Amino acid sequence: MNSLETVMPDLTYLFINKNATVHYQKEVAELVETAIVNQEGHLTHTGALAADTGHFTGRAPKDRFIVYDDLTKDEIWWGPVNQPIDAGSAGILLEQVGAYLSDRELYVRDGLAVSDPDHCVSIRAITETAFQNIFVNNLFIRPGAADVNARPAWSILAAPGFRCPNPEQYGLRQSNFVIIDFTRQVILIAGTAYTGEIKKGMFSVLNFILPRRKRILPMHCSANTDTSGNTALFFGLSGTGKTTLSADHERLLIGDDEHGWDTRGIFNFEGGCYAKCVGLDRTREPEIFDAVRFGALLENTVFYPGSRTPDYENTAKTENTRVAYPIEYIAGSVSSGRAPAPKNIFFLTADAFGVIPPISLLSTTQAMYHFISGYTAKVAGTEVGVKTPEAVFSACFGEAFLPLHPGHYAELLRERLTGTGIRVWLVNTGWIAGPYGVGRRIKLDYTRAMVRAALAGSLIDAAFHTHPVFNLQYPTACPGVPDAIMDPVSLWANDTAYYAQANRLAALFVENFKKFETAVSADVRTAGPHIA
């Protein structure tokens, strides 16, 4: 028996032949060398590996399925987000992918999800490419020592080269797919090399098992704290400033995307960050810019001609350029991944309608309503065909990853807020003085000033007004911000036009919330806007 076989983990439960060639728990340097030799990527001028994910440069939500069986049939929030696939079909596809991988060199890595040792989940990822294995190393928590003989709680198979030849036979839409099997405890990813499917597949798993088993609230948010334990959470969809506002050099980063909250505090689910690279520069985001170094993985970026320097403004391959790196690449990050419960929570929205106040203080039921709503807006230029502002609602600021009904997570939020004095703020990082195309986007410096005042506890001392349509309580003054900026109505040239626009957006909130009403309590249903 050669040395390779002596350290080979048992993968036969995944239908991978015991004689398959396996590279187990390899160092990142060796994986980088392998990726270059296999022509999976190139080194940048800073030493990061730049790789392409091929046809798919983002997730494929219409090709994601959850196995429908006795464990899930009455629990999952079935619908467009969580599409069912029968257990028999999933089992056959697992066997096919296992057989496919058996004939290839495999890269196997053991890691953990959830930084709290009382709740951590062991993971074994089997990837077809070396660069995917680097991603696994960077994004999951790296164990002090891996046990090759231990059976992990969850297994992830990533086989980008596998194409299902007859997808309709198994209820698939096309040849690529992501299947989450809660009974077998396997995530099956095939036909796509986009590494975000690995990360978000496991996040979806945690969003199912942690609330049901341990009443932990899983959250799609960033988190930071300070040396006094003044923790803050930042929720927000793409373009709302979540990463920018949480990456504050005066505070300590806990994590940039996935966290849990139990009765003792919060904790990061991950061991790294997966940051967007569009427009990245050292001035605006120095921490992320400097994290693009050896060991980091760039995805789908373009080099300046004749160089190995990434051109972060070039989106020829995709708008969704990314970099994955260990969290310790961020100076001042919290190595334990844990912190006390938050004192302040920020829901960020880029309101292109120009009517949401710059910052508002929410009651518990309002927090639940806006948590379930998860509002922001698209503006012209962000997507083909978008000419005017369009409202976007993503439940719990992460609808695509919620196996349970959003009302379930909102009730867990109520448990965490009740009787604690935790403040929840709705922050408009979008437009003021009119809608997109008429008004202007609020200055980042003003938003930072409001967030810092909220964290310091001084914002609560201001006089507050009540918004007549959204019923939001908003402060009329903030240090470092002109008073006129704080009033969403006075900046508009015409009050009538303002309220017409506010009612228009309020109606969209009401219409969106109808799909949740039967599974949320009455006090939450009535906590939203009221059309005047």
Which active-site residues does the annotation give? 59, 200, 220, 238, 242-243, 257, 322
Phi then psi for residue 512, to 5 deg, are -60, -35
Tell me the backbone φ, ψ of residue 109, rounded to 5 degrees.
-140, 135
- The secondary element (H helix, E strand) that includes residue 305 is none
In angstroms, rounded to a whole number, what is the distance separating the alpha carbons of residues 246 and 262?
Answer: 21
Q: Any residues with CB less than 8 A from the CB of 6 and at least 6 apart, and which?
A: none
Asked whether the beta carbons of 181 and 213 are under 8 A apart, the reply is: no
Task: List all residues 6 or more positions away from 439 whose beta carbon is below 8 Å from its beta carbon.
Answer: 354, 431, 432, 433, 491, 492
Tokens of 398: 């992460």
The closest of 246, 222, 227, 238 to 447, measured between CA atoms, is 246
Structure tokens at 370: 């806006």
Strand boundaries in 174-264, DSSP class E: 177-181, 186-190, 217-220, 222-225, 232-236, 252-255, 258-262
Q: How far is 371 from 293, CA to CA, in rounded Å?
A: 36
- The radius of gyration of the chain from alpha carbons, rounded to an integer in Å, stands at 23
Ranges assigned E (strand) in 280-436:
297-299, 302-303, 310-311, 322-326, 338-339, 344-349, 359-362, 375-378, 390-393, 423-428, 431-432
Distance separating alpha carbons of residues 266 and 142, to the nearest angstrom? 19
**Residue 450, CA distances (Å) to 57, 248, 453, 469 in order:** 35, 14, 5, 22
Q: How far apart are CA 458 and CA 470, in angstroms?
A: 24
Q: At what angle do helices 364-373 and 406-417 cross, to 10 degrees?
A: 150
Name the E strands within 379-469. Answer: 390-393, 423-428, 431-432, 440-441, 464-466
Residues 6+ positions from 258 with CB-CB distance below 8 Å: 203, 206, 218, 219, 220, 221, 268, 269, 270
Number of Cβ atoms within 10 Å of the Cβ of 280: 18
